[in-house]
Structure 1
Amino acid sequence: MSSLLNATFDASDEGIWPTRRRKILDWLVTETRHERFIDNILVEMCIRLLDAGVPVTRASLHFRTNHPQWIGARILWRKGLAEAEIRTFDYGVEETDQYLNSPLHEINSGASVVRRRLDEDGPQYPLYDELRADGYTDYIAWPLDHTLDKRHVVTFATDRTGGFSEDHITILADLLPALALVSEIRLKNRLARTLLETYVGPHASEQILAGATTRGSGVTVGAGILICDLRNFTAISDLWPRDDVIELLNGYFDAMSGPIEKHGGEILKFMGDGLLAIFPLTDPMACANLLRAISEAQTAVAELNHENIQKGRDPLGYGIGVHVGDVMYGNIGSRKRLDFTVIGPAVNVASRLESLTKEIKRPVLLSKAFVEMAGCKSKLENLGLFPLRGVGEPIDVYAFSGDCISPD
């Protein structure tokens, strides 16, 4: 791209600005289709604006997101950066003084534009003082309106003496409809991926996005299988207020899920008060990592129970069954409603072991097949053979105490 940064433009020349505006618009609409990420598009757009003589030296995009952890995200570019900075914001930020006393709040409250010449007196926001201290002279924010009145925000700032000219503002304003369209497509792509990752997990979401959407599609994989269930949940849900039950479940799932995901496990589903997770054997340390996850989850549940006792609640109990084997990993269900999960005899064994924890009062039970693959047989307590419902031969069962987190 030829640089025009050092050229001198006559604002009265009617042929310059329309031509360069047209080039940037054409690029934004027709040449960004292969770029997945809106932050990269923002960076490239700002570089092209600079090359066209529009002195943008700072730009940001502010999006509201459908994410379980964050209400929104900010993408920030400054002149000289090869990549934009991305920051996420927790739920509740919209109630803070930082947000309420900002141009973003003004835009989200219905303003069609917020502009501030930073070298002149006028209404103040704390952001203006920060920008002025960094050498900026002009700031402007516009709404980016997406489908169904979803409103986001784009901002531009410059350090040019005298701020943006009216020609600069015209070019930036003309880009807004195309930028809204391009950003909505990327945001919805990201939303689809986020929702899939949230509800079916990262690996399953990759399979689905790659086209595994037909009933029966899937693969056979070897995996360590973990099935966990909360004890006495029916009694708790009958006696406790609804909000307390939800808080308890979320705390319990946090304690269990964090270590599983940390050590490479994939949670395929939450089943009421239980969960199903696999550790694919493509990782040679899968079984050892599964044991590490259980050990850390036990510690996390113990800490949660300490908090529950302080609140006058009974401690939580749980049962975990672990087995290893081949499972069918893919789409199962009706013609119109599918579940991306695992099935097979190995899953049934893990489920029966979880049920067995209720009978023999041990919280974590492992099959001999899993223990041998994990390589720590000598460190576990062998409880002997147990018949399992629906499983042919009795299964040799081991109890896990938390001490076995590495192979012999």
Structure 2
Amino acid sequence: MNAANQRPDLIDALRKAREQLPGDPAFGDPLSVSGPGGARAVARAADRIVGDTPSAAREIGFGALQIWQAMLERVGRGKGSEEVTVMFTDLVAFSKWSLSAGDGATLELLRGVAKAIEPPIADRGGHVVKRMGDGVMAVFDSPDRAVGAAIQAKRNLEKVEVGGYTPRMRVGLHTGSPREIGGDWLGVDVTIAARVMEAGGNGHTMLSEATLDALRPETLAQLGMGVKPYRRSFFAAPMSGVPEDLRIFRLSRG
């Protein structure tokens, strides 16, 4: 039985089967099981029981939780009553640099990054929900202030340098109605914001169409910025856990 549980071909088949199920087929990754509450809390408990080693039992369990999460979203339990703009940030190729730089330089860099990006978030009414190593998740009650914070944070980051290395950061912004539970924010809109960030490649600031539509008409002009449609590479894997018609835009200097 244990041998079958560890069979790579069986695990791969179950992962492919999860792509046909409702909900996010990436459910169970570190991002999707972060934060308290609901299916994620059960997922973390399951992860502790079965461990993080790939196995058939793990995929079956997360498949069931994936469906449960999708059902909660459909009946509104994953939606909040207020619209917010969710921001995710991430340093490009940070892990590779950190391996060669060492712990001391890594800690120095992360402190410099925090001092660069967190004040613009707080100054514009944003709230850092959690820090995730080299990135943060934050929420704003205004998409305009969220965009302003992203721009200022990246400008501040240009002044951060450790041992001749200056980090690059990608940012993703999405506006929706996630649900706030125990100080965390959960729901499909959070997943979308994370996927929008992932589209930022080597250090771009990306907006979902929902965020772009929610901006005041004059905001981008006042910030000296414009937008360009994001076109996914033909060879890029499709985004998981997001609507098929999701449109993303890249912020550019106007």
TM-score by length of 1: 0.38
Equivalent residue for 2:181, pick from 327, 330, 333: 330
Equivalent residue for 1:315, pick from 147, 166, 181: 166
Higher strand share: 1
CA change 1:264–1:402 in 2 (3 A) is farther
Equivalent residue for 2:209, pick from 345, 368, 389: 368
Partner residue in 2 for 1:383: 229
TM-score by length of 2: 0.60
Unaligned runs of 5+ in 1: 1-199, 201-215, 281-285, 332-339, 404-408
Q: What is the CA RMSD across the aligned residues, in angstroms?
A: 2.5
Greater RCO, CA 8 A, separation 6+: 2
Displacement of 1:391 after TM fit? 1.4
Query: d(CA) in 1 for partners of 2:137 and 2:253?
Result: 20
Displacement of 1:237 after TM fit? 2.4
Partner residue in 1 for 2:31: none
Identity %: 23
Q: Quick check: 1:319–1:357 contact (8 Å CA) kept in 2?
A: yes
Which amino acid in the other structure matches residue 301 of structure 1? L
Which amino acid in the other structure matches residue 179 of structure 2? M
Displacement of 1:229 after TM fit? 0.6
The Cα offsets for residues 123-179 of structure 1, whole Å up to 9 and x where unpaired, read as xxxxxxxxxxxxxxxxxxxxxxxxxxxxxxxxxxxxxxxxxxxxxxxxxxxxxxxxx
Query: d(CA) in 1 for partners of 2:151 and 2:113?
Result: 15
Pair 1:269-2:130 in alignment: yes
- SS of match in other structure, 2:115: helix
Partner residue in 2 for 1:343: 186
Partner residue in 1 for 2:97: 236
Q: Quick check: 2:172–2:207 contact (8 Å CA) kept in 1?
A: yes
Query: d(CA) in 1 for partners of 2:195 and 2:179?
Result: 18
Alignment of 1:156-175 (within 5 A): none
Query: d(CA) in 2 for partners of 1:258 and 1:270?
Result: 14
Displacement of 1:367 after TM fit? 0.7
Partner residue in 2 for 1:399: 250
Q: Quick check: 2:228–2:252 contact (8 Å CA) kept in 1?
A: no
Unaligned runs of 5+ in 2: 1-34, 36-76, 233-237
Query: d(CA) in 1 for partners of 2:129 and 2:159?
Result: 25
Partner residue in 2 for 1:356: 199
Which amino acid in the other structure matches residue 184 of structure 2? T
Equivalent residue for 2:157, pick from 298, 301, 310: 301
CA change 1:365–1:279 in 2 (3 A) is same
Q: Quick check: 1:388–1:394 contact (8 Å CA) kept in 2?
A: no
Name which one, 1 or 2, has greater alpha-carbon Rg: 1
The Cα offsets for residues 16-44 of structure 1, whole Å up to 9 and x where unpaired, read as xxxxxxxxxxxxxxxxxxxxxxxxxxxxx
Q: Quick check: 1:295–1:402 contact (8 Å CA) kept in 2?
A: no
Query: d(CA) in 2 for partners of 1:314 and 1:394?
Result: 38
